[in-house]
Every structure is written in structure tokens, then in C-alpha cells.
């Protein structure tokens, strides 16, 4: 059983909960996720099964797309609604669409972001959220991230009663981006406290939310003996890489971990997928020092 399940993670569950349940459903321990989703966030969570666990890190480094909402007028210590309200300012005059778009545009491209205190980033051997739970704020270094785009997806909503304004967005971002923090940084740009009030991940690891399966879907597929209905093969998970079809002689070399010359990829791509008899067998990476492709990830079993 080798491949990737594009799991729809429901709210209220941790990523670890999902792994634990899938191990029981699939009766295998070779299950790994491709980066966590906070319990209050739903959406795409690619899960690697069997040999596909070897590409977990590769999928983890892919870009991600989220849809969500930012509420202006309130801020929370956790940067989402799960935390404690720490500031509230009435918005008497809501922002215009042009003002919103201008601020969102400032948070695109290559930017620096400071990880939130309620995160799993480690400082001095401890996770930041452990300090936060003790009421401590630790100095932490800003990190580079990349935002492909950050845009409105429908008109904002102004609540006359609470004097808050909610902005609905979509963002495409690099690994390591905290969307909660983007929401807070947006508020700083426009001069109001802000909080991420809703978030769904709609794309990750090359999989779209339309391709996802729930835990109950997966259980039903297993019960019916139709696991292939929810398990995406390695060839699909690695579809973004150029493919070289091995002949018998080169398959012999690859099966023993040997190097291959540049002729396998005229475009000289950094990483090449190697297939033999219509089955993915390896990813090979170009080594500048030796001028050849060498093993990067192997799927020989």
C-alpha cells in the first residue's frame, strides 16, 4: 500500500489524531503527514502511506493555499479566536476595498515574519507555546517567507453592533508561513487590532480540496476493498517532476544505486523521476561535483 491520501482534516482534530486514526483504519504503521494543521483549521492534509513516506518532506516544502477571514477591531493572544481577547477597538468607519487591497498587496512577495508565541517553533530547546502558556514572551528571530498572492475573495462585512469588520481572503504562501500572523500584520498596517477568525487550507502538496477524502470516506473504501479510490499513486504525487523511462540496462544500474549521466534529462532539471515498466522507482538528483544524477529517493521495494 504505497501512495498519498489527500485527507480532509476536520476542525477539532490535531494532525496527530488523524495519523493515529489512519493507522488503525489502514492497519499499517507506515503513515506520515506533510506538515501540521492547527485543530481549528480544516482542509487539505496530504498523508503519505508506505513507500510514499519517503516523499513527506518534499510535499511539505510545496506551496500552500488558504481561504479565510480576518476580523478587524479585536486581537487575541493566540492570533486566532481560540485564545484570550487582549484588545478591542470600535471601528466607526470601515475600510474601503481599495484600502484593503493596498494593505494586502504590501504583504506579498518575499517578506520577513516573526513566528507567533503560540507555535511549535523551538527556542532554547522548548516550544514557544510552552512559554506562552506560562505567560512568558520570548524574543524570536524573524524568518523569510514568500507570499505569491494575498487577495480579497468577496466584499468585506461591517457589523454595526460589534463595530468590527471582517475581510475574506485567499493567500498562496510558502512553507513556514503563519497565516494567523499575516492577519495580525494586516491589522498593524491599517491601524486596528485584528485576528484570524476563520481558515481553511484548500491546496497542499499538489492536492486540491476537491481531491480530498474524509476519515469516514477512507474507512468505507477500506471496508469495500477499494482503497485505490482514495489512495493517490506515487506517479500522481510526483507528477510535477520530469520523467525518464528506464530501459533494462539502466534499471539494473538504478536497482543497485548507481549514478546516471545527463542524457536522462536534456533539460538538466535538478530532480528527475525514474520509472520502470510504468512504475515509479526513484527520484534522482543532479550532482554538480560529479556531473551525474545520483539517488535522491528510492522506491525499489
**At residue 174, does pLDDT exceed 90?**
yes
**At residue 152, does pLDDT exceed 90?**
yes
Same domain, 87 and 48: no
Same domain, 37 and 129: no
**At residue 119, does pLDDT exceed 80?**
no
pLDDT for position 114: 86
The total of structural domains in the chain comes to 3
pLDDT tens for residues 59-115? Answer: 988 889 999 999 999 999 999 998 899 999 999 999 999 999 999 999 999 999 988
Predicted TM-score (pTM) of this structure: 0.90
273-277 average pLDDT score: 95
Same domain, 258 and 141: no
* Active site residues per annotation: 38
Q: Any residues with CB less than 8 A from the CB of 189 and at least 6 apart, and which?
A: 103, 106, 107
Same domain, 57 and 79: no
Query: What pLDDT band is residue 192 in, cutting at 50, 70 and 90?
Result: very high
Structural domain that includes position 18: 3-62+205-236
**At residue 229, does pLDDT exceed 90?**
yes
Same domain, 182 and 166: yes
Same domain, 82 and 183: yes
In the 3-class helix/strand/coil scheme, how is the chain assigned residue by residue? CCEEEEEEECCCCCHHHHHHHHHHHHCCCCEEECCCCCCCCEEEEEEEEHHHHHHHHHHHCCCEEEEEEEEECEEECCCECCCCEEEECCCCCCCCHHHHHHHHHHCCEEEEECCCCCCCCEECCEEHHHHHHCCCCCCCCCEEEEEEEEEEEEEEEEECCCCEEEEEEEEEECCCCCHHHHHHHHHHHHCCCEEEEEEEEEEECCEEHHHCECHHHHHHHHHCCCHHHCCECHHHHCCCCCEEECCHHHHHHHHCCCCECHHHCCCCCCEEEEEECCEEEEEEEEECCCCEEEEEEECCC
Amino acid at each position: 500500500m504505497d501512495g498519498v491520501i489527500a485527507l480532509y482534516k476536520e476542525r477539532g482534530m490535531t494532525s496527530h489524531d488523524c495519523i493515529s486514526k489512519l493507522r488503525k483504519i489502514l492497519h499499517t504503521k507506515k503513515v506520515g503527514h506533510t506538515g501540521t494543521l492547527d485543530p481549528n483549521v480544516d482542509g487539505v492534509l496530504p498523508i503519505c502511506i508506505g513507500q510514499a513516506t519517503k516523499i513527506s518532506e518534499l510535499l511539505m516544502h510545496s506551496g500552500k493555499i488558504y481561504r479565510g477571514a480576518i476580523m478587524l477591531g479585536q486581537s487575541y493572544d493566540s492570533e486566532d479566536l481560540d485564545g484570550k481577547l487582549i484588545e478591542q477597538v470600535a471601528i466607526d468607519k470601515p475600510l474601503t476595498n481599495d484600502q484593503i487591497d493596498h494593505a494586502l498587496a504590501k504583504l506579498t512577495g518575499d517578506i520577513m515574519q516573526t513566528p507567533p508565541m503560540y507555535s511549535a517553533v523551538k527556542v532554547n530547546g522548548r516550544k514557544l507555546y510552552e512559554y506562552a502558556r506560562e505567560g512568558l514572551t520570548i524574543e524570536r528571530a524573524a524568518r523569510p517567507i514568500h507570499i505569491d498572492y494575498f487577495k480579497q475573495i468577496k466584499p468585506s462585512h461591517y457589523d454595526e453592533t460589534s463595530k468590527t469588520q471582517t475581510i475574506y481572503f485567499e493567500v498562496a504562501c510558502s512553507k513556514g508561513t503563519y497565516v494567523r500572523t499575516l492577519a495580525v500584520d494586516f491589522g498593524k498596517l491599517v491601524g486596528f487590532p485584528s485576528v484570524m477568525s476563520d481558515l481553511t487550507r484548500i491546496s497542499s502538496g499538489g492536492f486540491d480540496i476537491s481531491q480530498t477524502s474524509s476519515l469516514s470516506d477512507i474507512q468505507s473504501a477500506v471496508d469495500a476493498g477499494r482503497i485505490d479510490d482514495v489512495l493517490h499513486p506515487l506517479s500522481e504525487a510526483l507528477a510535477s517532476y520530469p520523467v525518464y523511462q528506464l530501459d533494462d540496462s539502466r534499471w539494473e544500474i538504478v536497482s543497485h544505486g548507481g549514478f546516471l549521466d545527463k542524457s536522462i534529462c536534456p533539460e538538466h532539471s535538478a530532480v528527475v523521476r525514474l520509472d520502470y515498466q510504468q512504475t515509479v522507482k526513484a527520484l534522482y538528483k543532479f550532482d554538480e561535483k560529479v556531473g551525474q544524477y545520483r539517488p535522491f529517493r528510492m522506491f525499489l521495494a
